[in-house]
């Protein structure tokens, strides 16, 4: 039976109570306050829902992750990065990046990054927890991604690209920087061919939860200056 969250209770049901079909649906309801969002990520779940639905909370099994030391970059992409086609920055235009991620896609007319969702993550950015990666070409924002940094873990949320390889350039730059900062894992949530090409792989939900417990409160050397 699906657990419905109460607004005055930030707790979530145990991850093993998540549904098998649809995979990982753990709870519904509650809100998108910073306190609840942080409680969710610490617990091992994240929000994903469409307009007209209650907030739905997910913890899929298996979980798709990328270990920074396992990053794979194709020869052609590495060559493009060396050419200096893109300029990559951090936390310079968070609102623009999340709006870019919420924009229409060729394969989907809708978006799960609704205005309330955007506003919720902007609040987390203002608290220094959510971060953006911007990819610029000729001083125009052509791609980017955003997510949360907690302890020595990064929780990726979404990316967008307006030109070939823009989001890839941002992602590779981020992963290499996270590796240098001592981050241990990047949560990619669900599998995609795009992420698999970089070395992302599936791990058991229990292994994911154990990694959270180990590294969520570990300090890192991250410096997110714009």
Lowest mean pLDDT, pick from 56-70, 110-124, 195-209: 110-124
- Do residue 91 and residue 146 come from a single domain? yes
Q: Is residue 175 part of a domain?
A: yes
How far, in Å, CA of 103 to CA of 108, rounded?
A: 10
What's the confidence (pLDDT) of residue 140?
A: 98
Binned at pLDDT 50, 70 and 90, residue 148 comes out as very high
Does 109 lie in the same domain as 9?
no
Q: Which of 1-15, 25-39, 163-177 has the lowest mean pLDDT?
A: 1-15
- Cα→Cα distances 150→94, 124, 185, 189, Å: 17, 11, 11, 15
Radius of gyration of the CA atoms of the chain, in A: 17
Residue 176 pLDDT > 50, yes or no?
yes
Could you tell me what percent of the chain has a pLDDT over 90?
92
Copy the structure tokens of residue 2: 């699906």
Query: Can you give the pLDDT at residue 7?
Result: 84
- pLDDT tier for residue 94 given thresholds of 50, 70 and 90: very high
Whether the upstream peptide bond of residue 62 has omega within 30° of 0, thus cis, is yes
Q: Which residues touch 140 (CB under 8 Å, ≥6 apart)?
A: none
3-class SS of residue 13: coil
Average pLDDT of the chain to the nearest whole number: 95
pLDDT band at 3 (very low <50, low <70, confident <90, very high): very high
pTM of the predicted model as reported, rounded to 2 decimal places: 0.95
- Dist CA 198 CA 172 (whole Å): 8
What DSSP state is assigned to residue 16? G
The verdict on residue 221 lying in a domain is no
- Whether residue 222 lies inside any domain: the answer is no
Q: Is the pLDDT of residue 23 over 70?
A: yes
pLDDT at 1 (0 to 100): 84
Q: Specify the CATH number for the domain of residue 209.
A: 3.40.630.70
pLDDT at 225 (0 to 100): 85
Its domain, for residue 20, covers 3-61
Task: Flag whether 225 is in a domain.
Answer: no
Q: Note whether residue 226 is domain-resident.
A: no
Q: For residue 105, what pLDDT band results from cuts at 50, 70 and 90? A: low
Instruction: Retrieve residue 151's tokens.
Output: 């302890």
Interval 34-91: pLDDT, tens: 999 999 999 999 999 998 899 999 999 999 999 999 999 999 999 999 999 999 999 9
Looking up residue 30, the CATH number of its domain turns out to be 3.30.70.3550
pLDDT at 110: 53
Q: What is the pLDDT of residue 81?
A: 93
Q: Which of 224, 185, 190, 213 is nearest to 91 (CA)?
A: 224
Q: Is residue 220 part of a domain?
A: no
In the chain, the number of structural domains is 2
């Amino acid at each position: 039976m699906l657990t419905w969250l109460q607004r005055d209770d930030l707790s979530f049901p145990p991850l093993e109570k998540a549904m098998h079909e649809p995979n990982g649906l753990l709870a519904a309801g509650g809100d998108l306050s910073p306190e609840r969002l942080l409680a969710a990520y610490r617990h091992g779940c994240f929000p994903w829902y469409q307009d007209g639905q209650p907030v739905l909370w997910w913890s899929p099994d298996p979980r798709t992750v990328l270990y920074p030391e396992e990053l794979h970059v194709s020869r052609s992409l590495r060559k493009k990065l060396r050419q200096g086609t893109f300029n990559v920055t951090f936390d310079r235009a968070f609102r623009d990046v999340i709006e870019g991620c919420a924009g229409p896609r060729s394969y989907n007319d809708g978006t799960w990054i609704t205005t309330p969702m955007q506003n919720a993550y902007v609040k987390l950015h203002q608290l220094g927890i959510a971060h953006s990666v911007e990819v610029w070409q000729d001083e125009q924002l052509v791609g980017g991604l955003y997510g949360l940094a907690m302890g020595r873990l990064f929780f990726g949320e979404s990316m967008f690209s307006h030109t070939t390889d823009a989001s890839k350039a941002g992602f590779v730059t981020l992963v290499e920087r996270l590796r240098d900062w001592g981050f241990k894992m990047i949560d990619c949530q669900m599998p995609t061919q795009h992420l698999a090409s970089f070395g992302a792989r599936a791990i058991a939900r229990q292994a994911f939860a154990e990694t959270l417990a180990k590294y969520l409160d570990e300090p890192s050397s991250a410096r997110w200056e714009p």
